[in-house]
Chains A and B, each alone.
Chain A
Amino acid sequence: MTTVTRRSVMTGCAALAALGAAPPATPAKDEPTTAADGRVDIHMTVNGKRRALTLDVRVTVLDALREHLQLTGTKKGCDQGQCGACTVLIGGRRVLSCLTLAVAAQGKHIETIEGLAGASGKLHPMQQAFIDQDGFQCGYCTPGQIMSAIACVREGHANTDADIREYMSGNLCRCAAYPKIVAAIKQARTEMGHG
């Protein structure tokens, strides 16, 4: 059977007892700690604030944000990694929060749509550009579009219309606001200092 070392953590179902897993020793810094009911204590930094949570090990970053931190700006579309509505930045890179387990994001820095506007309420240039260019209709995909668009500009993948369309293809818009989204990204990339 598995040797559980100081930094190895067992969490999850009661059936694990049947596997003969030893209880974890004192976890090292940044490792999840496990409660007797199989839930796991984790922490992550969300929009600059350190947040501590006790979650079922199955909870995704998306559900942790929406159901446990009441940050419902990040949207659940397909929940299968196919639509991009749940896009957030983890460690500065755009990823799909619906396919990321919260326990695997332990200690990471997460940025969501709620963290973009300044303390004064001034919108991020990308948010303002989506309004100025009418880059949405129903708005459901918009938080994911905006997070993805910010990363797209920072990556240097927003230099041409063709690049924007290619590198934004992971964000579906059923209202088909795509031409306006391209226009918004072009407006914001200048204000973001990327030409």
Chain B
Amino acid sequence: MRPFGFERAVDIAHASRLGQDSGQGQTDAAVQFLAGGTTLIDLMKLDVLTPARVVDIGPLQVAHNSIEAGAAGLRLGAFATMSATADHPGVLQGYPAIAQSLQLAASAQLRNMATLGGNVLQKTRCTYYRDSSWSACNKRNPGSGCAAIQGFNRNHAVLGVDDTCIAQYPGDFAVALIALDAQVELNGPSGRRRLPFSSLHAPLNRRPHIETTLRPGEIITAFFVPPGAWNRRSLYLKVRDRASYEFAISSAAVALDMDGERVRSVRIGLGGMAYRPWRAKEAEDALTGKPLTESNAEAAAAAALSSATTHGYNDYKPELARRTLVHALLQARSITPADV
């Protein structure tokens, strides 16, 4: 690990001031915020992230880790740990997709360390990004090319990609957040603002080194999930290479609001499949107002994957995503109104 300067922030204003050079959206920013450390310290050891300064925002945890579930929806302090959120009764009962996305992620130790804000910003697991001996990586070294496109790309993205990068967004929680129309609260040098969660991660647009729309010095302070009948009839289905402690090769967050046999509204997020947390609006539109039959679910899943681009080893992914989504939709349908 390279030498770095270490600073400890005592509150948000202090952190924003210390982090003004964070760039944040950029992978190569000179200043990095340290919360749980499970991504940052790992990537610093690998010489992938080489910040000149690290700003420890751990002391902000106490003031920004509350979880409130009520009539106004769900508010999650961004410094709540993954484990505390996954075990919270209000989350378990009212927002099963959120609880499941966290329970099925990482390991118990990592969930104790990682904060929600850091979790949504975790970096791709692309092996060509994580191994700096590969010279071609547009995300790590802009303009250098992409070794993954011609490489071993079995778990690389098929949605939202272009010919500059096929790195996959690895997280689970963000997939549930994007499906449930979450918002994110940011605090930074120019004050507090709120964004739809769907606009936190930047679209690729041939600029894989710009990962978020965060402004320099901005810190995620909270997430909001609006209230709605669909929240309780939601689930997160994760498909992976081993039974536990593994990233998704395909996942789906589904939230259903039924009007008898017909779909009044459905919210769908896809994971293990895309460059960034992915909302499958085409699939939602295809199902809305229709009975939730297997064939209608299949048609919706086909719509969700219609723009998929594969690169050899990941040719299997669109079919796996379709089957994952159909399975998730039918499973959500079988959540009985009594459960809801």
Contacts and interface: CB of A to CB of B under 8 A. Distances in A.
- Interface centre among B7, B83, B113, B245, by most chain A C-beta atoms within 10 angstroms, is B7
Given A5-B14, A7-B8, A166-B244, A80 B113 contact: no
Contact of B4 (A3, A57, A94): A57
Nearest to A157: B108
- Interface centre among B6, B20, B37, B106, by most chain A C-beta atoms within 10 angstroms, is B6
B135 interface: no
Interface stretch (A66-74, A97-105, A114-122, A124-132): A97-105
B18 interface: yes
A40 B10 CA distance: 18
A168 to B, nearest CB: 8
Given A101-B37, A169-B107, A80 B45 contact: yes
Interface string A74-108: 00000111001001000001111001110110000
A87 B109 contact: yes
B3 interface: yes
B112 A93 contact: yes
Interface string A150-176: 011001010000000111111100000
A104 B37 contact: yes
How extensive is the interface on chain A, given as a class? 35 or more
B6 A10 contact: yes
A124 B171 CA distance: 37
A168 B46 CA distance: 26
B263 to A, nearest CB: 32
Contacts of B4: 12-13, 57-58
Contact of B3 (A4, A5, A12): A12
B7 A10 contact: yes
Interface string B112-123: 110000000000
A13 B108 contact: no
A181 to B, nearest CB: 14
A167 B6 contact: no
Nearest to A60: B41
Given A2-B7, A10-B5, A12-B6, A148 B109 contact: yes
B38 A81 contact: yes
Interface of B: 1, 3-10, 14, 17-18, 20, 34, 37-38, 41-42, 45-46, 52-53, 56, 58, 83, 106-110, 112-113, 243-245
**Closest 4 CB pairs between A and B?**
A170-B107, A13-B3, A169-B244, A169-B245
Interface of A: 2-5, 7-13, 15-16, 19, 21, 31-32, 38, 40, 57-58, 60, 79-81, 84, 87, 93-96, 99-101, 103-104, 148, 151-152, 155, 157, 165-171
